[in-house]
Amino acid sequence: MRLLAVLFAVASIAAACSSDSSNGTISLGDEPLAPAIEAGEVETSVDGEVVNFEYETFDGGTAAFADLPEGPVVLNFFASWCPTCVAELPDFESVSNNLAGEVTFLGLATSDRTEASTALLEETGVTFTTGQDLDGSIFRLFEGLAMPTTVFLNADHEIIRVHAGVFNAETLTETINSELLS
């Protein structure tokens, strides 16, 4: 048990401090642990691209992004192994409740075990729409650079902004108001 704890600690440090630049992931053997994490916050620009994709639901089915309600969307990539993702999920839940009917929230557990993601969602009380990106392919579609990553899409579901880094309720609300609701 102690060896397992040490291995987890080493993997967590590696996920926070190093990466394989050839493919943008951090690995332990053949198993990817996390997308490469850059220091600080990183903004990427994939403006204007209209997106559609399918994702796995936690009940084993699939759902399509195009089936979300019309209007602006906040898409958040999270994982149970990402401490900052875990920390921001309650703020996303709060803001999603405050902006219900104005903005749709979609959270995708990325490169995470289903059981761990499900437990995290229960622990944090998340009630907005969630699904799984088990292999990280949707994360890569949005040119994600680090975890957590949040994508802001306008009412036409065009990408307005991709943000790598943590949000709290105040900065998330400010960003939504300035990028999506103004």
Q: What is the CATH number of the domain that holds 156?
A: 3.40.30.10
- φ/ψ (deg, to 5) at 155: -65, -25
One domain for residues 73 and 6: no
Query: Of how many residues is the chain composed?
Result: 182
pTM of the model: 0.76
**Domain co-membership, 10 together with 83:** no
Contacts of 99 (CB under 8 A, 6+ apart): 173, 176
b/e code 92-108 from CB counts within 10 Å (16+ = b): bbebbeebeeebbbbbb
Q: Are 31 and 120 contained in the same domain? A: no
Structure confidence at residue 50 (pLDDT): 72
Q: Are residues 43 and 104 in the same domain?
A: yes
* Domain boundaries, position 125: 38-179
The 3-state DSSP class for residue 1 equals coil
Q: What is the pLDDT of residue 48?
A: 66
What is the total count of domains within the chain? 2
User: Tell me, what amino acid is at 55?
Assistant: Y
Q: Count of alpha carbons within 13 Å of 36, Cβ hemisphere only?
A: 13
Q: 18 and 104 share a domain?
A: no
Pairing of strands 73-78, 42-44: unpaired
Chain centre to alpha carbon of residue 53: 15
Residues 99 and 165 in one domain: yes
Contact 131, 55 (CB under 8 A): yes
* pLDDT score, position 46: 56
Q: Are residues 27 and 45 in the same domain?
A: no
pLDDT along the chain (182 residues), means of 10: 40 36 34 36 52 90 92 97 97 98 97 96 96 94 92 92 95 97 92
Same domain, residue pair 50 and 121: yes
Dihedral sign from CA coordinates of 140, 141, 142, 143: positive
Claim to verify: residue 44 and residue 33 sit in the same structural domain: no
Q: Are 77 and 144 in contact (CB under 8 A)?
A: yes
Domain shared by 55 and 136, yes or no: yes
Shared domain for 160 and 78, answered yes or no, is yes
State whether 4 and 66 are in the same domain.
no
